[in-house]
């Protein structure tokens, strides 16, 4: 892929004819160039030829930003500064969305372009029909990304000169800069959008030494699919990974590469995570409607149906097996968060109450394998497994899959991640039972060891695990390693927590408020978890929509956010999970008081709820622990004080 559609020194650009520059842009364009685009380029080129005279440096038109699937209009590398220039041709005003767009490009380069990590980056927004520039003030954050400068056509040179006279440093080698590797880490929504638009996983995911096995795992799964088809085999494989390591990305990659229903190896992506399915479907549908310029209701409906076939709720897939006696149309199915499939008791109860099938005697994993086993030739099941992610009653864990295959489907081949033996995956006795099975093997390439969600610090999940396991020494050590890269703060004042979020988030970086589904006594702080946030609106709508996460009003629970992520997070901590000096106390609010939770399984769900909440933020988070109220016995300060003391004792700084 060409990094920029036109590049060269500024001196060469100034002496090259305008038609020649447009010719190169058109030649390298990945799309058919419309007259409106040519007109925009023409205006940009003419302005830049006027404003850049006398400057020494390099210019890049249509510079590729892989993670966002977009291109920066112009990048200028002059002296010690990288200027990111976004044009809004014909616009009179500096819209907030356009300013955020320029800022997003600058942040993307800073975070993911290797040669930009230590450089000063100045985004500039040009509204070509504006009558005047906004007040010019160079304001830099700690990472040397400046707030966008908003200028009219005559203000570009002024802003360039101001920055160059202010920012010191050695001149950048533009050739080395442009050739440096780009290591993006997209959100799952960004990844799904890019993959569905036929971008390769290589184009949107990082492949440095720490995360190289994302590619290895994807390729291994592809090999297993081809092997099953070529040899008429039935294979089930188990992919493990730490939170945010890219398990869902791997599954989406396989599904998008094999989404053509006319191809025998067609694959479908299945998840029991309802909010994740809703959000991904909505995001892909919105993108496809825009890409295809669908306007009528029927056109939009066709787009939605095609997306719906690509990403399905696993329970709907299961219900098809009840209706039709034959095999599914799909030979390859990917089960996301497979450990959350229902156990025998939960499945039997559902079948009896909702489907009128008394005496149903299979767990959900067993029934799903039996459905795929109806194929007479070959089939592949890909189970994506997270550790410590079970948060709901009736979730079977991964041993239900192993037990089902071991006891009922002896002809199926099992290829198991070698890390499934770790205690956090709770495979238990079932794994011991399959070790000596002739059709079973352990595979190192099926484990994703590095979190990619928190691109600033890869050991956030290790810190959270140690925190929740009450391993204080390990938690402090992990926090020391990530503190400089991944800001975490704590406060007892919700307004300060929100101010902290606003001070850290830039551009369109997304932030939100989360709480445990058991957090019943946050209502005095205007956080009512009984009012369910709509995940589609919360994750996808803009900052002008009160239902969006940006408003920091509606708190999403672990059920709405599992499998998804934001850039910044405000995690609220209620009295349901309390540190008592040695370990955790578990409480459920009933009626007018907190009651002890004694059931070990329910305790695990509650701890895992906080594990989910504490691992959703990509860039940083603030934790709000209420101060309590001496006059309210349901919010006694002692319910919160020890937790606050424990967290600050791990090194988490307080917001003052």
Q: What is the pLDDT of residues 77-88, one digit of tens each?
A: 999 999 999 999
- 287 in any annotated domain: no
400 plus 511 within the same structural domain: no
**393 in any annotated domain:** yes
The confidence score (pLDDT) of residue 257 equals 82
What pLDDT does 390 receive?
A: 58
Determine, yes or no, domain membership for 255. Answer: yes
- Pairing of β 584-590 and β 593-596: antiparallel
Q: What is the CATH number of the domain that holds 95?
A: 3.40.1350
465 and 441 assigned to the same domain = no
Q: Are residues 621 and 488 in the same domain?
A: yes
Q: Is residue 628 part of a domain?
A: yes
What does the CA dihedral 107, 108, 113, 117 come to, rounded to 10 degrees?
20
Please report, in angstroms and rounded to a whole number, the separation of the first and last CA atoms in the chain: 48
- 298 lies in a domain? no
Which domain-ending residue is among 418, 448, 478?
Answer: 448
Residue 302 lies in a domain: no
Residue 288 is inside which H or E element, if any? helix 274-292
The sheet that has 555-556: what strands, in order across it? 488-491, 617-624, 566-572, 511-514, 555-556
Which of residues 403, 425, 448 is at a domain's end?
A: 448
Do 8 and 64 fall within a single domain? yes
- Taking 70 as the pLDDT cut, the residues of the chain under it are 1, 66-69, 198-213, 243-244, 387-394, 396, 421-431, 433, 451-458
Output the CA angle 187-188-194, nearest 5 degrees: 90
CA distance 139 to 479: 29
| CATH (domain of 407) | 3.40.50
Q: Is the residue at 190 inside a domain?
A: no
| Residues 170 and 234 reside in one and the same domain | no
- Angle formed at CA 503 by CA 499 and CA 504, multiple of 5 degrees: 120
pLDDT of residue 209: 36
Q: What share of the chain is helix, strand, coil (3-state, %, to 5)?
A: 45, 20, 35
Q: Is residue 547 part of a domain?
A: yes
Strand partners, 82: 77, 121
Verify that 487 and 438 share a domain, yes or no.
no
Quick one: 99 and 121 in the same domain? yes
Residue-range definition of the domain harbouring residue 413: 212-271+316-448
229 and 350 together in one domain:
yes
Distance, in Å, from the CA atom of 303 to the CA atom of 33, rounded to the nearest integer, reads 25
Residues 538 and 615 in one domain: yes
What's the domain count of the chain?
Answer: 3
Same domain, 266 and 403: yes
Q: Which helix (H) or strand (E) holds 600?
A: helix 600-614
pTM of the model: 0.84
432 and 474 part of one domain: no
Report yes or no: 184 and 205 within 8 Å, Cβ to Cβ: yes
Supply the pLDDT for residue 393: 63
Domain end point (choices 133, 159, 179): 179
Unique residue bearing structure tokens 């092997």: 227
Same domain, 384 and 479: no
Rounded Cα–Cα distance for residues 342 and 348 (Å):
9
């Amino acid at each position: 892929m060409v990094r920029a559609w036109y590049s060269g020194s500024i001196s060469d650009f100034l002496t090259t004819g305008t038609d020649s520059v447009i010719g190169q842009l058109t030649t390298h364009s990945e799309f058919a160039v419309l007259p409106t685009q040519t007109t925009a380029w023409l205006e940009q080129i003419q302005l830049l030829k006027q404003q850049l005279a006398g400057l020494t440096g390099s210019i890049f038109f249509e510079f590729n930003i892989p993670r966002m699937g977009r291109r920066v209009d112009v990048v200028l590398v002059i002296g010690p500064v990288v200027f990111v220039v976004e044009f809004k041709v014909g616009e009179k005003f500096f819209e907030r969305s356009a300013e955020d767009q320029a800022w997003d490009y600058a942040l993307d380069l800073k975070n993911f372009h290797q040669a930009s990590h230590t450089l000063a980056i100045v985004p500039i927004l040009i509204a070509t029909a504006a009558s005047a520039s906004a007040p010019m003030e160079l304001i830099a954050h700690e990472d040397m990304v400046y707030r966008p400068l908003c200028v009219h056509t005559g203000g570009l040179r002024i802003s360039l000169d101001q920055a160059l006279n202010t920012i010191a440093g050695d001149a950048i080698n533009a050739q080395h800069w442009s050739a440096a590797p780009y290591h993006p880490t997209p959100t799952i929504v960004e990844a799904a959008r890019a993959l569905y638009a036929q971008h390769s996983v290589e184009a949107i995911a990082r492949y440095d030494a720490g995360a190289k096995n994302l590619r290895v795992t994807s390729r291994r799964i592809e090999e297993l699919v081809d092997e099953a088809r070529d040899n008429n085999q039935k294979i089930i494989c188990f992919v493990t990974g730490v939170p945010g390591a890219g398990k869902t990305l791997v599954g989406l990659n396989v599904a998008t590469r094999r989404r053509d229903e006319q191809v025998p190896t067609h694959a479908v992506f299945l998840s029991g995570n309802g909010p994740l399915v809703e959000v991904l479907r909505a995001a892909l549908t919105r993108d496809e409607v825009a890409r295809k310029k669908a306007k009528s209701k029927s056109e939009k409906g066709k787009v939605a149906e095609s997306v719906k076939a690509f990403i399905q709720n696993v329970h709907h897939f299961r219900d098809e097996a009840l209706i039709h006696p034959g095999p599914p149309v799909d030979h390859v199915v990917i089960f996301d968060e497979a450990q959350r499939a229902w156990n025998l008791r939960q499945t039997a109860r559902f079948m009896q109450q909702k489907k009128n099938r008394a005496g149903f005697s299979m767990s959900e994993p067993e029934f799903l394998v039996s459905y795929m086993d109806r194929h007479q030739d070959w089939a592949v099941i890909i189970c994506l497994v997270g550790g410590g992610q079970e948060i709901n009653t009736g979730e079977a864990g991964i041993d239900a899959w192993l037990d089902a295959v071991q006891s009922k489907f002896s002809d199926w081949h099992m290829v198991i991640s070698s890390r499934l033996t770790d205690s956090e995956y709770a495979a238990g006795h079932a794994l011991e039972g399959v070790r000596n099975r002739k059709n079973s093997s352990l595979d190192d390439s099926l484990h994703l060891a590095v979190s990619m969600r928190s691109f600033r610090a890869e050991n956030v999940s290790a810190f959270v695990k140690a925190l929740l396991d009450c391993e204080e020494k390990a938690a402090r050590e992990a926090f020391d390693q990530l503190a400089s890269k991944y800001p975490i703060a704590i406060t007892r004042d919700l307004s300060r927590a929100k101010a902290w979020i606003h001070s850290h988030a830039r551009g369109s970086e997304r932030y939100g408020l989360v709480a445990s589904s058991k957090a019943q006594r946050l209502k005095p702080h205007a956080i009512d978890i009984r009012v369910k946030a709509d995940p589609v609106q919360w994750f996808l709508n803009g900052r002008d929509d009160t239902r969006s996460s940006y408003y920091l009003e509606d708190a999403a629970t672990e059920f709405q956010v599992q499998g998804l992520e934001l850039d910044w997070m405000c995690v609220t901590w209620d009295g349901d999970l309390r540190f008592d000096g040695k370990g955790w106390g578990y409480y459920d609010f009933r009626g007018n008081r907190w009651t002890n939770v004694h059931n070990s399984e329910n305790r695990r769900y509650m701890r895992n709820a906080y594990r989910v909440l504490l691992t959703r933020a990509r860039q940083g988070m603030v934790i709000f622990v209420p101060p309590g109220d001496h006059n309210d016995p349901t919010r006694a300060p002692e319910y919160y004080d020890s937790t606050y003391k424990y967290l600050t004792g791990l090194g988490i700084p307080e917001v003052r």
